[in-house]
Amino acid sequence: MQDLVLGLDVGGTASRALVTTLDGTPVGSGVAGAGNPVGVPVEVACAEVSTALAAALRGLDPARIVAGVLGIAGTSRFGDPAVAGAFDAVWRAAGLSCPVRPIGDVVVAYAAGTDEVTGTVLISGTGAIAARISGETMLSSADGMGWLLGDLGSGFWLGRTAATAVARELHAGRDGALVRALLSVLPGGSADAFVTAVHERPPRDLAKLAPLVLGAVADDPIAARIADEAADHLVATAAEVWHPGDPVVLAGSVLTGGPVLRDRVRERLADRRPGVVVPIAEAGTVGAARLAARGVLAD
């Protein structure tokens, strides 16, 4: 029987599992709820990962799985014997006899975009970070400092910058596509009401405005300027770690979710380094499975 590998992408909102052949052909997948023990109790995390894993293994002999990788933010949690032991119990209960190695989600995101062992990944989701990767090691990184100190060009940055601009437009009595887009989700016909609505929500909720900002770019010069600034920030972040000849993998929901920001980033990267290869990351499970297979094939 053909050997298989397991890739898991476990985060604060969902747990995903993918089983593939060594050449990357998918043969099973599953999804469940939040499975990162940084954000939910360990027993909840393990239950959700177990559900996703069971779905991915349905109809397959788990003995065929020869390697696994768990892509997750906060791998240091697995230094706690209680956490590591709880997840080991999940693997055993599923019938796995191979190790399932936790690897940081930034490394996994890079692997989801390229087979090249060494290169750069630029991620923009709720936050933003760039990192230079070699194998399973992060050699260097830039930004990724959270919304208080950085995450420039991220979903949060887009939302906050747009909310600031809309508040000013409302104070001046001006209308526009961006103003209307944000007022569709943040009630308030006046500047004061809008500002109050923003402050009543958790700060990180501003990241949810990013799709509205990018969706207004074609019809609103303020939104277009914000998108341009976001692209400038992201490319500057990538430039801090990027080496000549590196591919630059684009990852994260803001960069992979549509062309508006992605195309701006690609254009700026090409201006800096003509001929640069800029692949788009696939799902994190693909990167995790690719790393698992690479480990097997290297032996």
- Any domain includes 232: yes
28 backbone φψ class: left, alpha, beta (φ>0; ψ -120 to 50): beta
Looking at residue 166, its amino acid is: V
Residue 29 pLDDT more than 80? yes
Q: Which residue shows structure tokens 């709880």? A: 86
DSSP assignment, residue 184? T
- Any domain includes 70: yes
- Any domain includes 29: yes
Residue 142 pLDDT more than 90? yes
| pLDDT reported for residue 152 | 97
61 and 86 co-located in one domain: yes
pLDDT in tens, 241-298: 999 999 999 999 999 999 999 999 999 999 999 999 999 999 999 999 999 999 888 7
Q: What is the mean pLDDT of residues 34-51?
A: 92
Which range marks the domain in which residue 233 is found? 120-272
**What are 92's two structure tokens?**
């055993």
35: domain CATH number? 3.30.420.40
- Any domain includes 278: no
| pLDDT reported for residue 299 | 66
DSSP assignment, residue 280? B
140 and 243 co-located in one domain: yes
- Any domain includes 242: yes
pLDDT in tens, 214-248: 999 999 999 999 999 999 999 999 999 999 999 99
Q: Please report how the helices 221-239 and 155-171 are oriented relative to each other, as an axis angle in degrees rounded to 10.
A: 150
pLDDT in tens, 145-199: 988 999 999 999 999 999 999 999 999 999 999 999 999 998 877 889 999 999 9
| pLDDT reported for residue 12 | 80
DSSP assignment, residue 279? P
- Any domain includes 22: yes
DSSP assignment, residue 135? T
Alpha carbon 132 to its chain centroid, in Å, reads 16
Report the number of distinct structural domains present in the chain: 2
88 and 151 co-located in one domain: no
- Percentage of the chain beyond pLDDT 70 is 100
Contact 103, 289 (CB under 8 A): no
Residue 49 pLDDT more than 80? yes
Residue 39 pLDDT class (50, 70, 90 cuts): confident
| pLDDT reported for residue 274 | 92
80 and 124 co-located in one domain: no
Q: What is the mean pLDDT of residues 108-112?
A: 97
Contact 142, 129 (CB under 8 A): yes
| pLDDT reported for residue 74 | 84
| pLDDT reported for residue 190 | 85
Residue 141 pLDDT more than 90? yes
41 and 125 co-located in one domain: no
Q: 196-213 burial, b if ≥16 CB within 10 A, otherwise e? A: ebbeeeeeeebbebbbbb
Strands 26-32 and 15-21: antiparallel
Strands 248-251 and 118-124: parallel
User: Which pTM was predicted?
Assistant: 0.90
| pLDDT reported for residue 206 | 94
Q: What is the rounded CA–CA span in Å between residue 289 and residue 247?
A: 20
| pLDDT reported for residue 260 | 97
Q: Which helix (H) or strand (E) holds 48?
A: helix 42-57
pLDDT, averaged across the chain: 94
87 and 138 co-located in one domain: no
**What are 158's two structure tokens?**
């887009």
36 and 145 co-located in one domain: no
128 and 266 co-located in one domain: yes
- Any domain includes 294: yes
84 and 25 co-located in one domain: yes
- Any domain includes 85: yes
267 and 288 co-located in one domain: no
215 and 157 co-located in one domain: yes
**What are 71's two structure tokens?**
């892509």
189 and 264 co-located in one domain: yes
